[in-house]
Amino acid sequence: MTNLIIGNIFSFLSALFIAVSVIKKSKKGLIGWQILDVVCCILSNIFLAAYAALTTNSVALIRNILAYKNANGKKTTIALTVLCVIAGLYANNRGIIGLLPIIASASYTVMMFTTKNEQQMRLALSSNLLLWLVHDFYVQAYSSAFTDAALSGWTVFQIIRNRAPLSMAGEKS
């Protein structure tokens, strides 16, 4: 029971940091807060014995630090994606549920490299949060699961609120 409580405390802290990241206007600001989020996720995963999530979050920490420093090139992205998948599969102790953090982290790693657009980053974050929602509920990281649901909705709201008006072909905007 103690591990569940401690895991949920770190899960809650993680949720606070990811919440702050969603409202940041720049990609660097978004990623900076997500570094703190991932550190708390790692600690939560240790206490909740979610080993695939632990390994994918460890790779995500490296990814986020490199992305924050603009040091994530194509080879690094490929290497981190492969490492995330291999390490996650090796450490998976939750069956199909354990695959969700692997998919979430690998896809987010690719998106971080392929776009500089904050709106696309928000969309990737929203889909990432939905995968984590299912996982976090299953491993009893309830504060994170609740926050995953709320932030996914909030992120979609931010996407809609910050969208640029669409222009017709040939029309000046």
Q: Where are the domains of the chain?
A: 2-161
3-state secondary structure labels for all residues of the chain: CHHHHHHHHHHHHHHHHHHHHHCCCCHHHHHHHHHHHHHHHHHHHHHHCCHHHHHHHHHHHHHHHHHHCCCCCHHHHHHHHHHHHHHHHHHCCCCHHHHHHHHHHHHHHHHHHHCCCHHHHHHHHHHHHHHHHHHHHHCCCHHHHHHHHHHHHHHHHHHHHCCCCCCCCCCCC
The confidence score (pLDDT) of residue 81 equals 92
What average pLDDT score do residues 90-98 get? 92
Per-residue pLDDT, 90: 94
Average pLDDT of the chain is 86
Whether the CA torsion 96, 13, 56, 158 is positive or negative: it is positive
Instruction: For residue range 132-173, list pLDDT tens digits in order.
Output: 999 999 999 888 899 889 988 888 888 888 776 544 444 444
Residue 44 has pLDDT above 90, yes or no: yes
> How confident is the model at residue 87, as a pLDDT?
93
pTM for the whole structure: 0.77
pLDDT of residue 22: 75
Q: What is the pLDDT of residues 104-137, one digit of tens each?
A: 989 888 887 888 787 888 888 889 889 999 999 9
